[in-house]
Amino acid sequence: MLVLVINSGSSSLKYQVRDTAAGSRLANGLVERIGDASGGHPADHGEAIEQVLAELEGALGGRSIDAVGHRVVHGGERFGAPVLIDNEIVRAIERLAPLAPLHNPANALGIRAVTAKWPRIPQVAVFDTAFHRTMPEHAWRYAIPDALYTEHGVRRYGFHGTSHDYVTGLAAELLGIERSRFNAVVAHLGNGASVTAVRGGASVDTSMGYTPLEGLVMGTRSGDLDPSIVTQLIVRGEYTAGDLDRILNQDSGLKGLSGNNDMRSVVEAAAEGDDGAELALAVAAYRLQKYIGGYHVAVGGAHALVFTAGIGENSWPFRERVVEGLGALGVELDRYANVRRSGAPRVISTPESAIPVLVVPTDEEAQIAAATAALCGG
Ligand code: AMP
């Protein structure tokens, strides 16, 4: 099956074409500045889709697209698995906009643009939140008045689910453990970062919450903090809610502590003796260590600790820093295996390590394509 995978944002649209039988990628690209009237950019998502089709011409060797898979950020409480899209599903995605105001409306625009162009092609929505629908209530509830949940939907949803799901499957396979019996702590460390407790192959807790702000120290996001910081600063009248939203999402994390949001630069600066960069690494690693310890308990003993995404796959110094602090769990890194570059799923701990430490490259598009093919009979 040829699946066009679309990740549509408010002003950009990323795409890939995957052959799900061959497991290969035939094309990929990015349409930017949608709605920017200057300089011949697409006026709307419909024109962006036209541009994608023009770019695909000649790239598919005469074959045509069989189905379209869309990344959708928020599936709320309703969607716990990928779904075949119809009108009602698009409206449901739009109704979830209050929970993901920057993403869901844009995701729906991408779906509507494809429908307008190809009314008969099957389309599937794959949700970032869906993998976490298996969390038990004690993990997804915040200890706040019930009405905030029942009337406003304030609860933990979790994100990066497509990646956590994909990586969990590959890690279980690599270790030869049946997925339904596989327990793990999976750390997706990219510019956004989250860690998930996996029990029996399913998510039982995750560090991102009502929004992707909670949890780990990220490129520009603070992760966990005392909510009174926000209320007190507003009450004092020095900051507005909008200021703090921007500060916590865009100016915090590695960037807040070191001035730089890119892990490569932070590691380099720390090696050159920059105190802010060293502190940023220390805070980020310590936060992750606390989650790993907690989630090891939450899953009833993990069979593996798994690293993925930009930092998890590539930054051996950060992995080393994190695992060095896990001595109490009996985890031991193989220093040589840790620094070796590879694009393959691999073990980076010693045979003596109490549990194996893995690096498993993520591939959200492959997961979306596979889910789309599965629902469309491919
Ligand atoms: P992602 O959001 O998954 O693309 O990850 C982005 C993060 O991965 C950034 O902080 C990058 O600095 C980091 N990253 C990407 N490539 C490398 C690399 N080769 N070494 C260290 N960090 C990397």
Place of tokens 């060095």: 324
CB 124 within 8 A of CB 376: yes
CA nearest ligand 1 atom 21, residue:
315
**Pairing relation of β-strands 357-359 and 304-308?**
parallel
CA separation for the pair 160, 98 (Å, rounded): 19
Closest CA to 370 of 175, 174, 169: 169
> What does DSSP assign to residue 67?
E
> What number does the ligand 1 atom closest to the CA of 267 have?
21
Q: What is the mean pLDDT of residues 190-197?
A: 96
What pLDDT is attached to residue 102? 85
Centroid of ligand 1 to alpha carbon of 57 (angstroms):
32
Ligand 1 site-directed mutation target among 311, 313, 339, most atoms within 8 Å of CB? 311
What pLDDT is attached to residue 10? 84
Centroid of ligand 1 to alpha carbon of 83 (angstroms):
31
CA nearest ligand 1 atom 8, residue:
310
Domains 2-127 and 177-359 share a fold: yes
The whole-model pTM stands at: 0.95
Q: What is the mean pLDDT of residues 335-352?
A: 97
pLDDT band for position 36 (cuts 50, 70, 90)? confident
Q: Tell me the pLDDT tens digit for each residue of 59-78.
A: 888 899 999 999 999 999 99
Give the domain ranges of the chain: 2-127, 177-359
Average pLDDT, the chain: 96
Ligand 1 site-directed mutation target among 186, 194, 314, most atoms within 8 Å of CB? 314
CA separation for the pair 7, 18 (Å, rounded): 14
Q: Tell me the pLDDT tens digit for each residue of 161-185.
A: 999 999 999 999 999 999 999 999 9
Concatenating the DSSP letter of every residue in 256-268 gives HHHS---HHHHHH
* Active-site pick, 66, 128, 165, 363: 128
> What number does the ligand 1 atom closest to the CA of 309 have?
3
Q: Does residue 155 or residue 54 have the better pLDDT?
A: 155
Instruction: Please say if 128 is a catalytic residue.
Output: yes
Q: Is the pLDDT of residue 37 over 80?
A: no
Secondary-structure breakdown of the chain: helix, strand, coil percentages, each rounded to the nearest 5: 45, 15, 40
Q: Tell me the pLDDT tens digit for each residue of 280-319.
A: 999 999 999 999 999 999 999 999 999 999 999 999 999 9
Ligand 1 site-directed mutation target among 7, 191, 266, most atoms within 8 Å of CB? 191
Cα–Cα distances (Å) from 146 to 155, 156, 214, 225, 226, in that order, read 10, 14, 20, 22, 20
> What number does the ligand 1 atom closest to the CA of 317 have?
21
Centroid of ligand 1 to alpha carbon of 262 (angstroms):
7
Listed as own residue / partner, the contacts of 74-77 with beta carbons closer than 8 Å and 24 or more positions apart are 74/99, 74/100, 74/103, 74/104, 74/127, 74/128, 74/129, 74/157, 75/125, 75/127, 75/128, 75/129, 75/130, 75/133, 76/129, 76/153, 76/157, 77/133, 77/153, 77/155
Centroid of ligand 1 to alpha carbon of 317 (angstroms):
12
Q: Tell me the pLDDT tens digit for each residue of 84-116.
A: 999 999 999 999 999 898 899 999 999 999 999
Centroid of ligand 1 to alpha carbon of 318 (angstroms):
11
Domain 2-127 superfamily per CATH = ATPase, nucleotide binding domain (3.30.420.40)
Phi then psi for 273, rounded to 5 degrees?
Answer: 95, 15
| Stretch (H or E) spanning 56 | helix 45-56
> What number does the ligand 1 atom closest to the CA of 254 have?
10
Q: Is the pLDDT of residue 228 over 90?
A: yes
Q: Is the pLDDT of residue 160 over 90?
A: yes
What pLDDT is attached to residue 58? 84
Q: Is the pLDDT of residue 378 over 80?
A: no
Question: Ligand 1: residues whose CB is within 6 Å?
Answer: 190-191, 219, 262-264, 309-311, 314-315
Q: Which CATH architecture has domain 177-359?
A: 2-Layer Sandwich (3.30)
For residue 349, count other CB atoms closer than 10 A to its CB: 20
For 102, left (φ over 0), alpha (ψ -120 to 50), or beta? alpha
Centroid of ligand 1 to alpha carbon of 265 (angstroms):
10
Q: What is the mean pLDDT of residues 349-353?
A: 98
